[in-house]
Chain A
C-alpha cells in the first residue's frame, strides 16, 4: 500500500524533460506516468509483467513499468511512446506499423513500438529470430505477429508501401 509510507522526492528525465516527483516510493512507475504526468500512451494489460503493454525504455533498457516502483527511477532517463516521434515526424517504425498492419486495436502498440525501438538499437538489421526474441515479451492478441514482423523488416529496409 503506497499510503502507508511517506512521500519521497524522485528526480528523473521523461522524454528528455527533467521532472521532480513527490510520490510514495512503492507507487508503480506505470501509475506515475499515466496519472501524475498524464502520459496515457503507456497501457496496463495485466499488471504482472507478462504482456508488455506498459513497456518503456529506462536508460536504454526495455522495462515493464507495472513492475517498477517509482523509487527505482531516481536519476533515470525514461522514454515513453509519447517521446518516440520527433515532433510531428513519425519514426520509420511508426510509419511501418501504420502501412503494414502492425497495429490493429492499438493497445499493445505503444509497448510494441518501444520493444522494436529497443531491438533495432541493438540489432539494426535483425534476423527473423532476433525479431521474434526481441518481441517475445510483448503480447498481441490481434495480429498473430506476422504483420508486426513485416513492419519491422519494412522499417529496416524502407520498403515500398504495399499495393
Chain B
C-alpha cells in the first residue's frame, strides 16, 4: 500500500514544547489559593489501628486533616473489585498504606507535621513471600490468599510423560521492578460548587481515575472531571495508582475548600506505589530425541501484594504468554496471583509476560542443552506456523515466520560467528563473552473479550479552517500517541500532519477510548482514529462538497461550506470486534488477542568472572509488528523497552524488609545509564495486519519480554552458570556460578 505520511518519521507533535521546557507537567501548574497535600502511611505491614495522635509543636488548627471517617461516599479505590480502601480505617495490610491526609499552604511545615502524626497500630502476623502465601502460613486475603487462578489445558499432557524420550524440569524466579518514570506521581484537585470536582494529573487512564472518584464522593459522572497533564513517563506505573492519589487530593480539596496539590517525592513514590509482580515459575517439559516438544506443563505464580488491584489481568497475560511462540500439542498451564503484605504490585510494561517469558526462554535453552542440541535448533524445530495453535488453542491465521526473524537477527548480530569466536577466546581470558537470544510473541490489545467490554470510542471534528480535531482519552506519555494519531488521521484525509489537532485528554471533552495500556493505542485506538477520520471524509463526499482526489485547499473549503450549510462536521467511531475472533472466558481458550507481534532478540555480554559484573556489549532486536507508522518513534519504543529490560535483567533489585522497599532511592536502586546501554540495533519486518490502522499492530510492551532472557542466556553460555533468577546482580551471579561449579 502506498502511503504519504504513514511510514515516515514525522517529528514528535509536542516536541518543541518538550525541548524548550515549555511543556507543562502537573508540578508546573499552580492555582490561586492552592495548598499542598501529604500522606501519612502505615509503618507496619499488617495490624489493627488503635489510635491516631497529632503530636509535636505543630499548629494543627491550620491543617486540613482527612481520615477514613471523613469520606463522604465509598471508602475504596474502585478498579476491578472494591477491596482496596482509599484510607485504611481499622486494619492495615501493607507498609506504606495511606491512613491520614494532611494539607497546608507551607510545604515545609507540612513535612514536619507529617512526621508528627503518630499512628498506634497493634501488629498482626504478616507474610512476605510467594511460598508463605501459597502454604497459607497466614491467610491475609479472602479464604485462601488467592486473588485469581487460571487453568489452561490443551491436548492431553498426562498421556505424554511415559513415552517421552526426555523430561526436563526447572524453577525460575523474577524480582520486583520499579517503573521509575522520571516524573514522580502527582495530582491537583479542585472542588467548586459550580463545576464539581476537577483533577489534573500525571496519568495514563483518565477514565480509570474518573471511575474511582465518582463513588468516593457519590457524585454523578458529569460532576467529576479528569484532565491529563503532560506525563513524564508511565510504563504502567501510572495506570492504576493515580486513582489513589486523585482520591486523596480530592478529599483534601473537598474538606479544605481549596485547590490541593500532592506531588510524591522519589522516596515516597518508590516505597508506596506499584511495581512489577515478583514471580515464580516451574516448567516440566517432555521432548522427543530429536527435539520436538511433546508436552509443556507450566506452573506460574505472581505476588500481588496486599490488594487485588490489577493482579488478575497481569496474571492472565503472563499465563497466555507462558508457552511462547511454539507449536506444542499438549500444554497445561496453572497459574495464580497470591496475596502478601507488600504494597500491591501492579501494571508494568509487559504486564506479566516478561516474567513468564523469562522462565520459558531460559528453560528452553536448558532443554536444548539437555538434548545436546543448539538452542536455535531446538526453537526452529518447534516454532509455530500459520494454521497451528498456541497454548490457548488460538489458531494462528497471520503470516508468521519466526525462522526468518531468527535468520535476520543472527545475521545482523553475527550470532554464529561470535559463538565460535568466543568459544576460542574465552578459554584464555577471565572475561567471558557470550551471545544469547530469546524468541517470543506479544499480544496487542486487551485479552480475549476485553476490547468488546471496553467498547472504546474516538470522536473527530472539523473546523471551518479544515483543521481536524481528534478526541480520545488515550494519553501521550512519551510513546508518541499525539504524533501517531496525527499521522493516521492525516493519511486517511490526505492532509499534512500539522492540520490535525489532538485534544488534551479531559473527561469533560473526550469520549472514552479506553486506558492507555496493553499495546492497544496504535492498533485498537488508532483504528478508531482512522474510522472517525473516514467518516468526516464520507460526509463531505456525500454532501457533494468534496470529490475524491481533492487538494488540501479543497478540503478546507469543503469543511467551511459543510459547516455553514449543515452545522457541525463531526464523527464518532466505536470499536467493533473483528469477525471470527472468539474467546471462552471459562475454559480460557480461543482467540486471546487480535494480533501478535513476533520477535527474536540477540544479546552479547561480557562477564568479568572475578567480579561477576556483566556488560551488555551489543543488542539486536528483530521484530514483526505489522506496518510501522513512524520508524523513529517505533525504534524509540523498542530501544527504551530494551533498556528497561537490561535493568530488569541485571541491575534493578528491589530490596525488601518486612514488605517494605528499603532501597527506595535512585542512589541505591540502580537503573541503566548512558554508560550501561549499548547502541541498540532495531530491525522491523513489516507484514500489514488488516485489523490495524494502515496495517499496524501494537509494539509498546514487546521489548520487555525478550530482553532479560536473551541476556540471561548469553550469561549462561559465556560462563556455564545455570541462570534461574532475575536480577542477575554480581552477588546473585556469584552464587549461581558457585552453585554451577560446585
Chain A residues engaging chain B, CB cutoff 8 angstroms: 1-3, 34, 39-48, 50-51, 53, 80-82, 84-85, 90, 94, 97-110, 113, 128, 131-133, 135-149, 161-163
* B673: A residues at CB distance < 8 A: 136-137, 139
Chain B's closest residue to A84 (CB) is B20
Within the complex, what minimum Cβ distance (angstroms) separates B89 from chain A?
Answer: 32
A134 to chain B, nearest CB (A): 8
Contact of A80 with B21 in the complex, beta carbons under 8 Å: yes
The answer to whether B674 touches A106, judged by C-beta atoms less than 8 angstroms apart, is no
Q: Are A106 and B641 in contact (CB under 8 A)?
A: no
Encode contact with A along B624-646: 1 for CB under 8 Å, 0 otherwise. Answer: 00000001110110011111100
Give how many B residues have a beta carbon under 8 Å from the other chain's beta carbons: 61
Query: Are A108 and B9 in touch, CB under 8 angstroms?
Result: no
On whether the beta carbons of B666 and A105 are closer than 8 Å, the reply is: no
Quick check: A104 and B182 within 8 Å, CB to CB? no
A43-B232, A141-B235, A142-B233 known; A101-B12 Cβ under 8 A: yes
Residues facing A in B668-725 (CB within 8 A) are 671-675, 677, 679-680
Choice from A34, A109, A136 contacting B674 with Cβ under 8 Å: A136
Q: Is B14 close to A, CB under 8 A?
A: yes
A146 and B643 CA atoms in complex are apart in Å by 10
> Nearest Cβ in chain A — how far from B667, in angstroms?
6
Which residues of A lie under 8 Å from residue B642 when comparing CB positions? Answer: 144
Q: Please tell me if the beta carbons of B181 and A141 are within 8 angstroms of each other in the complex.
A: yes
A139 engages B671 (CB within 8 Å): yes
A45–B182 CB distance below 8 A: yes
Which of A42, A101, A102, A141 meets B233, CB within 8 Å?
A141
Most A CB contacts (10 A, CB to CB) among B22, B231, B636 go to: B636
Q: Tell me the residues in window 341-387 of chain B with beta carbons closer than 8 Å to chain A beta carbons.
A: none
Query: In the complex, A161 Cα to B16 Cα: how many Å?
Result: 16
CB-CB nearest in chain B for A137? B673
Is A145's CB under 8 angstroms from B666's CB? no
Do residues B108 and A141 form an inter-chain contact, with CB atoms below 8 A?
Answer: no
When A141-B182, A142-B636, A144-B640 are in contact, do A98 and B15 touch as well, CB less than 8 Å? yes
B residues whose Cβ falls under 8 Å from a Cβ of A:
8-9, 11-12, 14-25, 27-28, 108-109, 112, 179-184, 230-235, 265-266, 477-480, 631-633, 635-636, 639-644, 665-667, 671-675, 677, 679-680
B184 x A45 contact (CB < 8 A): yes
For the complex of A and B, 6 pairs with smallest distance between CB atoms: A41-B21, A105-B478, A107-B232, A106-B18, A144-B643, A81-B21
In angstroms, Cα B677 to Cα A90, docked, is 28
> What is the CA–CA distance of A59 and B16 in the complex, to the nearest angstrom?
26
B108 touches A2 (CB 8 A): yes
Is A146 a contact partner of B679 (Cβ separation < 8 A)?
Answer: yes
Considering the complex, give the chain B residue whose CB is closest to the CB of A115.
Answer: B674
What's the least CB distance linking B279 to chain A, in Å?
22
CA distance A106 to B230 in the complex (A): 9
17 contacts between A and B (CB under 8 A): A1-B108, A2-B108, A40-B24, A40-B25, A43-B25, A45-B182, A51-B666, A84-B20, A106-B19, A106-B230, A106-B478, A107-B233, A113-B19, A141-B644, A143-B640, A144-B641, A147-B639
Contact A105 B181 (CB under 8 A): yes
Alpha-carbon distance between A108 and B23 when the two chains are bound, in angstroms = 12
Q: How distant is the Cα of A3 from the Cα of B22 in the complex, in angstroms?
A: 30
With the chains together, A163 CA to B208 CA distance in Å? 38
Q: Say yes or no: A132 contacts B20, CB within 8 Å.
A: no
- Residue contact B20 to A144, C-beta cutoff 8 Å: no
Q: Complex Cα distance A85/B16, Å?
A: 11
Contact A139 B666 (CB under 8 A): yes
| A113 contact set on B, CB distance < 8 A | 19
Whether B477 lies near A105 (C-beta < 8 A) is yes
- Asked if B183 contacts A45 (CB within 8 A), the reply is yes
Among candidates A44, A46, A109, residue contacting B18 with C-beta atoms closer than 8 Å: A109
Residue of A nearest to B24 (CB): A40
Cα-based distance from A131 to B677 in the complex (angstroms): 13
* Extra A-B contacts (13), CB below 8 Å, given A97-B19, A140-B182, A141-B671: A40-B24, A40-B28, A41-B22, A45-B666, A81-B21, A94-B20, A97-B15, A99-B11, A101-B636, A104-B640, A141-B179, A142-B479, A144-B672
CA distance A53 to B184 in the complex (A): 12
Give Cα A59–Cα B582 distance, bound, in whole angstroms.
65
Give the distance to chain A from B59, nearest Cβ to Cβ, in Å.
Answer: 13
Contacts of B18 in A (CB 8 A): 97, 103, 106, 109
A107 touches B182 (CB 8 A): yes
Residues of chain B within 8 A of A94, CB atoms compared = 19-20
Instruction: Indicate which residue in A85, A98, A104, A107 contacts B479 across the interface (CB closer than 8 Å).
Output: A104
The answer to whether B20 touches A81 (Cβ under 8 A) is yes
Which B residues are in CB contact (< 8 Å) with A42? Answer: 21
The interface residues of chain A lying within 8 Å CB-to-CB of B27 are: 40, 43-44
CA–CA, A48 to B270, complex, Å?
14
Separation of A145 and B14 alpha carbons in the complex (Å): 19
With CB as the reference atom, state the residue of chain B lying closest to A104. B478
Contact across chains for B636 and A104 when beta carbons are under 8 A apart: yes
Nearest-CB residue, chain B, relative to A128: B679
User: Chain A residues near B641 (CB, 8 Å)?
Assistant: 144
Decide: A100 and B666 in contact? CB cutoff 8 A. no
Contacts of B265 in A (CB 8 A): 47
Contact call B667/A50, Cβ cutoff below 8 A: yes
**Contact A144 to B182, CB < 8 A, known contacts A98-B15, A113-B19, A131-B674:** no
Inter-chain CA distance A145–B675, complex, in Å, is 9
| Docked complex Cα distance between A42 and B230 (Å) | 15
Give CA–CA (A44, B633) in the complex, Å.
25
- A82: B residues at CB distance < 8 A: 20-21
Q: Which single residue of chain A is at the shortest CB-CB distance from B647?
A: A141
Which partner residue on chain A sits nearest B232 by CB separation? A107
B679 nearest CB neighbor, chain A only:
A146
Chain A residues within 8 Å of B478, by CB: 104-106, 142
> Which residue in B20, B632, B667 is a CB contact (below 8 Å) of A48?
B667
A3–B674 touching, CB < 8 Å: no
For residue B666, which residues in chain A have a CB less than 8 angstroms away from its CB? 45-46, 48, 50-51, 139
Tell whether, in the assembled complex, residue B671 and residue A162 are in contact, meaning their CB atoms are under 8 Å apart. no
Given contacts A104-B478, A131-B674, contact A146 B680 (CB under 8 A): yes
A106 to B231, CA, bound (A): 8
Q: Check if B25 sits within 8 Å of A141, measured CB to CB.
A: no
Bound-state CA distance A96–B666 (Å) is: 28
A162 to B631, CA, bound (A): 9
Contacts of B640 in A (CB 8 A): 104, 141-144
Contacts of B266 in A (CB 8 A): 45-48
CB distance from A128 to the nearest CB of B (A): 8
Contact A145 B677 (CB under 8 A): yes
Asked if A48 and B643 make an inter-chain contact with CB atoms under 8 angstroms apart, the answer reads no
Q: Which residue on chain B has the smallest CB distance to residue A108?
A: B182
Query: Roughly how many angstroms separate A102 CA and B633 CA in the complex, as a whole number?
Result: 10
Nearest residue in B to A1 (C-beta to C-beta)? B108
- In the assembly, what is the distance between CA of A39 and CA of B22, in Å? 9
Q: What CA separation (Å) do A131 and B675 show in the bound complex?
A: 9
Q: How far, in whole Å, are A136 and B18 apart by their CA atoms in the complex?
A: 20
Complex CA–CA separation, A136 to B671 (angstroms)? 12
CB nearest to A111 among chain B residues: B182
Smallest distance from the beta carbon of A69 to chain B beta carbons, Å?
A: 14
Known A-B contacts A46-B665, A107-B25; A51 and B19 likewise in contact (beta carbons under 8 Å)? no
Contacts of A139 in B (CB 8 A): 182, 666, 671, 673
For A43, the chain B residues whose CB sits under 8 A away are 25, 27, 182-183, 232
Closest partner residue, chain A, to B673 (CB atom): A136
Given A46-B266, A53-B182, A84-B20, is A132 in contact with B674 using a C-beta cutoff of 8 Å? yes
**Whole-angstrom distance from the CB of B57 to the nearest CB of chain A?**
13
In this complex, the member of A39, A45, A82, A132 whose beta carbon has the largest number of chain B beta carbons within 10 angstroms is A45
